[in-house]
Chains A and B, each alone.
Chain A
């Protein structure tokens, strides 16, 4: 016990915060990272590591099976599937993480304010959120994109707007109980500003449900993003995109199943990885957790 605490105070001063070590010793986080890190590498490097030009068509090589010149085969226009998946990761991850970042930026302050203020402010804010939540997600995304033009940024924005109320709701419920704690009243007795109380006293103690909600929603956001491009409202050809690839593959499923399998598998692994990391984060971020949970 004694040695444990001394090592902790030492690691307080080292450049790597102990929470990183605790994260890396969590099995779920590690498995999630094993899948997610390559996806990020693909998204960042894109064309430079793609073996072929993802937009280059080659009519002679249509429906090529995996294993030949093209590692994962080709699609109905003879484009290299591996290259398209590598480059497509960029749009997918941008939409997934970007939209949730937007949703957090919008939803967390609203939820904090509503949960802390209670009463009329709470009612007003949350009923507004309820209105947004009551519209089916995909429909709302379509609506927003119908008003704005359809490009990656707008898709991200649209999904961000769709998910912000859900984040707000989770934040509010965590804030409701946290704001009853006496440390909040102690802060009021010190005359702290509302901003300090919301973001410095309450927020650090409600992060775990928010982080979990956020990381689970990344998966959903990716799904909505792909659904939108599946419906033709995404980035549009010729930019590779997993959702659009799946949409295209649907018509050619009898010629080559690989065309459908690869983007779906990439999507599945990414969504699963974000969920695993979300679970792991929840265990690690709980301040009362000692970090020995596996």
Chain B
């Protein structure tokens, strides 16, 4: 089959060719096959996406390509050829001349991949000096500045003198890319380059990649779990699942006509902006690598699976030989035919009751400094939450969206009296929460709960599930031991967990199961308000969908109000009735969910919306680029806090006076000096050209 494909693309230069590679790892209990029969090609000037959930073996493949597997792992069979050179039989010397020079591997997590004690310039120069043999130090520096400029870092000379911690997350990612690009690589392997970046930063990074690709004429292997990112910039995509390639082909055909049930399920499970699609979770779990089922590995979770799928090897079948679209499925032709069958969501109008919590000009400052430092120096507190007013009604789900560091988590925690507010008031059930008596505070605690981002951290590792769930019941209800056991079982049933896990400890559960336990704990005492702090952002997309559906159902069942904090607008859109957009500690827009996604927009919201990568590769979005980084919350800009980055800035008015939230109709409030009609207008990306 490989030969067939090669014949069709003779005119193009194949840069990397991975052919039926098996990677094994030696573990205490024996051997596991982390990758089985994986093939992949990258051509010059092409961006190839490698997608898959965590644990599917994406990074393992990247490390296998550069021969950098851990000591207990090895390529068991198959071949890896880079530009005609056999990587598997290459000597250490040969590998050294290729790694970093012709193949650049940009690892995950720039924060820990850059050496914190070395200046950025030196880290790039090291790689230049090692591989390029520059004539002089000046020549090497010249290259450093050039490459820093290419990755769009402002003031390359100054940037080279900085240490990694002096850069923001997006800048660190660019610096990592600069290290990779410094030797004009032929192949660039990017491992989760945008994970952990804000959408606006991610959008800028993806644009940068597009530009650089044409400049360098390199092949890019882009590893990510985010299908939107792949749809945005990749030419071809490969879907890896539990160590096997399930589908590969051009992005357009794979995303519009997926020929594999896994791809189809993955697309159906990803929440999308502005689409009335009902997200559908994938049942079951990714198989453990030490217990690989025979036959098709996806069969257990597949709706097309028959007995035929569970035995024997499932070969990669050609869907379209012209485009090289392949799928590892017996029934790919059935799958392709049924793609349109996406359920659409029926908008249910929910009625909301009285106000549960009213927040009035709430302020929360950190690091206010002592009296002395304030007198002697120009000490400014960090204004994490600055003059926020918001009302949450009974059984209403309010979304709070914003980039990292905008103060949304602080707001959520201050509401629950986990942090002391600096100023303003929070009224719960018409009582100021600062003036609650001891018993009233206890009642407040039982009524208001919180669910955290990291499910493992939020469950005490030395407690069993039973103990974790029994604790709030013991604190807040009069149930006896028997009643608690019953309620525990009921709760587990409601979050779709079997009663058999009560004796387990959190580390024995998967991430999704842990989050379900955390949700069950929050609902144990039938609270009236739950703050959900990024409840799904650390979960895989297939698990994410089932958790979102669960939260939606529980919201209806218990009539609980939610404050859902997220950086991901599509998650908010799934659950919330109303959205508040936060920027630099202030709420700049609130509206019913459906209206946020329609004009008139706040310029910031509009930029956020346009930054989200869409699953449909054919839609071209006019992305609005935000200039620069979020300003320091210690020293926020005067006037409108967004004026430093606003593409629709009017002028002095924005710099001097702070706009207030004004109703533009139907409960949609925007804080901007523009009037409604101006906010309807499309924005020309005028800054785009003079940027480079």
Contact = CB atoms under 8 A, between A and B. Distances in A.
Contacts of A191: 441-442, 444-446, 475
A153 B125 CA distance: 66
Contact of B452 (A186, A192, A287): A186
Nearest to A186: B458
A195 interface: no
B418 A185 contact: yes
Interface in A220-272: none
B460 A189 contact: no
B9 interface: no
Given A1-B291, A182-B452, A185-B418, A190 B503 contact: no
A189 B461 contact: no
Interface in A1-46: 1, 5, 8-9, 12
Contacts of B460: 183, 201, 204-205
A287 B507 contact: yes
A186 B416 CA distance: 11
Contacts of B452: 182, 185-186
Contacts of B446: 190-191
Nearest to B502: A9
Contacts of B454: 182
Contact of A181 (B442, B457, B508): B457
Interface centre among A1, A183, A287 (most CB of B within 10 A): A183
A1 B503 contact: no
Nearest to B441: A191
Contacts of B507: 287-288
A56 interface: no
Interface string A179-202: 001110110111110000000010
Interface centre among B418, B457, B505 (most CB of A within 10 A): B457
B140 interface: no
A5 B504 contact: yes
Given A9-B503, A189-B416, A1 B475 contact: no
A190 B445 contact: yes
B448 A189 contact: yes
Contacts of A1: 288, 290-291
Given A1-B291, A183-B460, A190 B504 contact: no
B528 interface: no
B290 A190 contact: no
Interface in B480-523: 500, 503-505, 507-508, 518, 521
Nearest to B453: A182
Contacts of B28: 292
B575 to A, nearest CB: 21
A61 to B, nearest CB: 57
Contacts of B505: 287
A292 B446 CA distance: 41
B450 interface: yes
Contacts of A185: 413, 418, 450, 452, 458
Contacts of B288: 1
Nearest to A285: B462
B542 interface: no
A186 B461 contact: no
A97 B452 CA distance: 42
Contact of A204 (B290, B462, B476): B462
A189 B505 CA distance: 21
B472 interface: yes
A5 B444 CA distance: 39
B457 A183 contact: yes
B461 A190 contact: no
Interface centre among B291, B462, B463 (most CB of A within 10 A): B462
Given A12-B503, A182-B452, A182-B457, A188 B418 contact: yes
A191 B460 CA distance: 16
A183 B503 contact: no
Interface string B427-457: 0000000000000011011101110111001
B612 interface: no
A192 B449 CA distance: 13
B239 interface: no
Contacts of A182: 452-454, 457-458
Interface in B584-643: none
B445 A189 contact: yes
B508 A5 contact: yes
B462 A186 contact: no
A229 to B, nearest CB: 40
Contacts of A287: 461-462, 505, 507
B189 interface: no
Interface centre among A185, A191, A287, A288 (most CB of B within 10 A): A191
Interface in B363-401: none
A224 to B, nearest CB: 33
Contacts of B458: 181-183, 185-186
Interface in A98-117: none
Contacts of B413: 185
A189 B503 contact: no
B418 A190 contact: no
Given A205-B461, A288-B461, A186 B450 contact: yes
Contacts of B162: none
A37 to B, nearest CB: 28
A191 to B, nearest CB: 3
B457 A190 contact: no
Interface string B188-220: 000000000000000000000000000000000
A292 B28 CA distance: 9
B378 to A, nearest CB: 24
Nearest to A204: B462
B471 interface: yes
A193 to B, nearest CB: 10
5 contacts: A1-B290, A8-B503, A189-B416, A189-B449, A288-B461
Interface of B: 28, 288, 290-291, 413, 416, 418, 441-442, 444-446, 448-450, 452-454, 457-463, 471-472, 475-476, 500, 503-505, 507-508, 518, 521
Interface of A: 1, 5, 8-9, 12, 181-183, 185-186, 188-192, 201, 204-205, 287-288, 292
9 nearest interchain CB pairs?
Answer: A191-B445, A204-B462, A182-B458, A182-B452, A183-B460, A182-B457, A9-B503, A287-B461, A189-B450
Given A190-B472, A191-B442, A292-B28, 14 more contacts: A1-B291, A8-B503, A182-B457, A183-B457, A183-B461, A185-B418, A186-B452, A186-B521, A188-B418, A191-B445, A192-B475, A204-B460, A204-B462, A287-B505
